[in-house]
């Protein structure tokens, strides 16, 4: 299941090169006044994430996108994604989906540790879960904050910071870390390639006391921790379920 991302032409977009954003006061001022949903503190942390490749934010009226020099901007479109889920699940329902079965609980509350481009978060939110989502990468966090400004969600709280287990205040967590590049068997879709260009987070350790942690893995890959208590298999991914011991 994937979210829909629109790739628009870039002619009318205003460009904010990431490597200059926090160094150029005029650029910063313009950016912050165009995107009041984003804090200056968050923008200041971006410089430590900018790698070798020349990414820029692009702004088209209210919509914030991200792209390399020759790409069309990539952005999160919550409305289109939710319409897509509605279309898919309207007739066939979702209660037999491996992902749904892996995360369901009596409370219907879940922490999404790795929000990324929001695909999984939006799916869980659409399925009726109350979601608290974290994202450690400030660049991705800016896209998320912008998407939520354009299309606010009920039962959804976003926290633009790195997750650690001491922040866990629900009984179920969903974790979708990147697979190590050298072990990847299939090439990731475009939005994931972008996220991975900035990825520098190591795997969290397994918490023994959390009631349930669901880890999403590519099919055929190793478990990130020891053997999972249950597994649910999708077409290309697997959900490893760990329960408190
Ligand atoms: C594979 S992507 C997740 C994709 C996401 N499930 C989606 O549907 O778009 C991993 C994301 O988690 C973020 N991340 C990795 N470790 C994290 C941590 N400890 N806390 C918060 N975010 C983290 C990365 O910055 C990246 O955006």
At 2, the pLDDT band (50, 70, 90 cuts) reads very low
Q: Please check whether residue 4 lies inside any domain of the structure.
A: no
Percent of the chain with pLDDT over 90: 73
Long-range contact pairs involving 18-24 (C-beta distance under 8 Å, separation at least 24)? 18/46, 18/47, 18/50, 18/55, 18/56, 18/57, 18/139, 19/47, 19/50, 19/54, 21/46, 21/47, 21/57, 22/46, 22/47, 23/47
177 within ligand 1 shell (Cβ under 6 A):
yes
76 within ligand 1 shell (Cβ under 6 A):
no
186 has pLDDT over 70: no
Structural domain containing residue 178: 78-243
Task: Using the mean position of ligand 1's atoms as its centre, give its distance from the Cα of residue 135 in Å.
Answer: 6
So what's the pLDDT on residue 190? 63
At 4, the pLDDT band (50, 70, 90 cuts) reads very low
Q: Please check whether residue 42 lies inside any domain of the structure.
A: yes
Per-residue pLDDT, averaged over 130-159, amounts to 97
Q: Please check whether residue 9 lies inside any domain of the structure.
A: no
Q: Please check whether residue 232 lies inside any domain of the structure.
A: yes
pLDDT digits (tens, 9 = 90+) for 85-123: 999 998 899 999 999 999 999 999 999 999 999 999 999
Shared domain check, 82 and 129: yes
- DSSP-assigned letter for residue 209: S
At 205, the pLDDT band (50, 70, 90 cuts) reads very high
What's the CA gap between 119 and 174, in Å, rounded? 13
Task: Using the mean position of ligand 1's atoms as its centre, give its distance from the Cα of residue 218 in Å.
Answer: 15
63 within ligand 1 shell (Cβ under 6 A):
no
**Could you tell me the sign of the dihedral formed by the alpha carbons of 117, 64, 189, 96, in that order?**
positive
Task: Using the mean position of ligand 1's atoms as its centre, give its distance from the Cα of residue 242 in Å.
Answer: 19
pLDDT digits (tens, 9 = 90+) for 66-92: 988 778 889 999 999 999 999 999 889
pTM (global) more than 0.85? yes
Q: Whose CA is nearest to atom 13 of ligand 1?
A: 114
Q: Please check whether residue 89 lies inside any domain of the structure.
A: yes
Shared domain check, 90 and 58: no
Encoded tokens for 140: 């991705």
Task: Count other C-beta atoms under 10 Å from residue 181's C-beta.
Answer: 9
- Measured from the Cα of 116, ligand 1's closest atom is 27
Shared domain check, 220 and 104: yes
173 within ligand 1 shell (Cβ under 6 A):
no
Dihedral of CA atoms 204, 209, 213, 219 in degrees, nearest 10, equals: 70
The CATH number that applies at residue 143 is 3.40.50.150
- DSSP-assigned letter for residue 74: B
Shared domain check, 227 and 123: yes
3-state secondary structure of 31: helix
Q: Over the chain, what is the mean pLDDT?
A: 89
Task: Using the mean position of ligand 1's atoms as its centre, give its distance from the Cα of residue 26 in Å.
Answer: 31
143 within ligand 1 shell (Cβ under 6 A):
no
Task: Using the mean position of ligand 1's atoms as its centre, give its distance from the Cα of residue 112 in Å.
Answer: 9
Strands 230-233 and 172-175: unpaired
pLDDT digits (tens, 9 = 90+) for 14-58: 999 999 998 999 999 999 999 999 999 999 999 888 776 789 999
What's the CA gap between 23 and 209, in Å, rounded? 44
Shared domain check, 149 and 38: no
Among 5, 116, 215, say which to mutate for ligand 1: greatest number of ligand atoms within 8 Å of CB.
116
* Number of domains forming the structure of the chain: 2
Shared domain check, 31 and 111: no
Per-residue pLDDT, averaged over 195-213, amounts to 85
Shared domain check, 98 and 173: yes
Q: Please check whether residue 3 lies inside any domain of the structure.
A: no
CA 204 centroid distance within chain: 16
Shared domain check, 47 and 138: no
Q: Please check whether residue 236 lies inside any domain of the structure.
A: yes
Shared domain check, 128 and 236: yes
Q: Give bridge partners of residue 159 from the DSSP assignment.
A: 134
Shared domain check, 109 and 54: no
Shared domain check, 114 and 225: yes
Q: Please check whether residue 35 lies inside any domain of the structure.
A: yes
Shared domain check, 91 and 48: no
So what's the pLDDT on residue 48? 85
What's the CA gap between 69 and 10, in Å, rounded? 10
Q: Whose CA is nearest to atom 16 of ligand 1?
A: 201
Per-residue pLDDT, averaged over 234-244, amounts to 95
At 150, the pLDDT band (50, 70, 90 cuts) reads very high
């Amino acid at each position: 299941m994937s979210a829909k991302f629109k790739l628009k032409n870039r002619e009318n977009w205003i460009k904010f090169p990431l490597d200059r954003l926090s160094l150029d006061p005029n650029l910063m001022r313009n950016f912050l006044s165009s995107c009041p949903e984003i804090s200056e503190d968050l923008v200041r942390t971006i410089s430590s994430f900018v790698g070798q490749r020349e990414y820029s934010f692009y702004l088209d009226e209210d919509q914030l996108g991200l792209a390399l020099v020759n790409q069309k901007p990539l952005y999160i479109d919550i409305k289109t994604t939710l319409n897509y889920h509605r279309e898919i699940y309207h007739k066939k329902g979702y209660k037999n989906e491996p992902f749904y079965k892996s995360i369901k609980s009596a409370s219907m509350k879940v922490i999404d540790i790795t929000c990324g481009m929001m695909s999984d978060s939006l799916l869980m939110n659409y399925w009726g879960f109350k979601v608290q989502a974290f994202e450690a990468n400030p660049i991705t966090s800016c896209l998320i904050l912008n998407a939520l400004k354009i299309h606010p969600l009920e039962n959804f709280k976003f926290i633009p910071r790195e997750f650690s287990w001491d922040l866990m205040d629900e009984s179920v967590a969903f974790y979708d870390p990147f697979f190590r590049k050298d072990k990847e068997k299939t090439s990731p879709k475009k939005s994931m390639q972008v996220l991975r260009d900035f990825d520098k987070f190591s795997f969290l350790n397994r918490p023994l006391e959390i009631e349930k942690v669901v880890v999403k893995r590519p099919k055929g890959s190793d478990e990130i921790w020891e053997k999972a208590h249950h597994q649910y298999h999708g077409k290309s991914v697997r959900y490893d379920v760990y329960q408190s011991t």
